[in-house]
Amino acid sequence: MDKRLIFILLFALFLFPLVSAYQKEIPLSITVGCDKINCSLAWNITILNPNSSILIDNQEMIVGDYYASYSLTPVSTGNYLVFLSDTTGSNNYGTTFDVTYSSEQLSTSQGILYGSFFTVLVLFILVIFFIITKLPDSNERDEEGKIMSISYLKYLRSTLWFVEWLLVVTVLYLASNLAFAYMSEQLFASILFVLFRISLGITPLVVIVWVAWMFVSFFQDKQFQNMLNRGMFPQGRL
């Protein structure tokens, strides 16, 4: 096996710190300062894709007075391994860089924070759904279907359904961003983001329908309440 590949694989096992994060399909420049390499020598660069295949094979870098650089455009997300060697073969340098969907890289602490927030949101959704199932969805009726009393808790039920919808939209957004940040395969993240955009797009319609239902229901309940106060027991759909 090529000694350059052996060095890169050993380097990966020791988990050297990441240099930085870049954005997918955006040109970037790999730059190494002369404090790390001897800029009086000519340097070549080899870069491995996240799947360990060779992206750049022993290409010459541009070496200046203060740094050496090489330009490329990554087409996939993930962690790229970089290996530099001078033309004499006596000096080596290794590093890595990350390519993400949006050039934003989550640290471990940020990942824990976002993951915890995601978990809390899901728990809220489950708790609210449990509460909704315990609330009445209509006015109290007798066996003949006549309204016996107005149940205003049904308004709390509809309000919680609206809150549930907003939480689902938020979870879709957070899940898509976490998938873009951590998954090398972007199909699942793209599906989540499309679902988020669709749900966000129809949210204004949901708001209009919800507000209209609240006003109509409240107006009808006021009429039913007046009839109940007069000793009349109407039949209705609410």
- Which CATH superfamily, name and number, covers 3-100? Immunoglobulins (2.60.40.10)
Q: Which tokens go with 135?
A: 């609330």
- 158 Ramachandran zone, left/alpha/beta (phi>0; psi -120 to 50): alpha
Strand order in the sheet with 92-100: 18-23, 92-100, 78-86, 43-48, 54-60
> The dihedral of CA 159, 162, 166, 167: what is its sign?
positive
> The dihedral of CA 137, 141, 145, 147: what is its sign?
negative
DSSP, collapsed to helix, strand or coil, labels residue 129 as helix
> The dihedral of CA 88, 89, 90, 93: what is its sign?
positive
Q: Would strands 67-72 and 62-63 be described as parallel, antiparallel, or unpaired?
A: antiparallel
CB 8 within 8 A of CB 83: yes
- Whole-structure pTM value: 0.53
| Angle made by CA atoms 191, 28, 68, in degrees to the nearest 5 | 150
Element (H, E) at 94: strand 92-100
DSSP, collapsed to helix, strand or coil, labels residue 75 as coil
pLDDT tens digits in sequence order for the chain, 238 residues long: 455 555 544 444 333 333 446 777 788 888 888 888 888 889 999 999 888 888 999 899 999 888 999 998 888 777 888 889 888 877 788 888 888 765 555 556 666 777 788 888 889 899 999 999 888 876 666 566 565 666 677 888 888 999 999 999 988 888 887 777 666 566 777 888 899 999 999 999 999 998 888 888 777 777 766 666 666 555 555 4
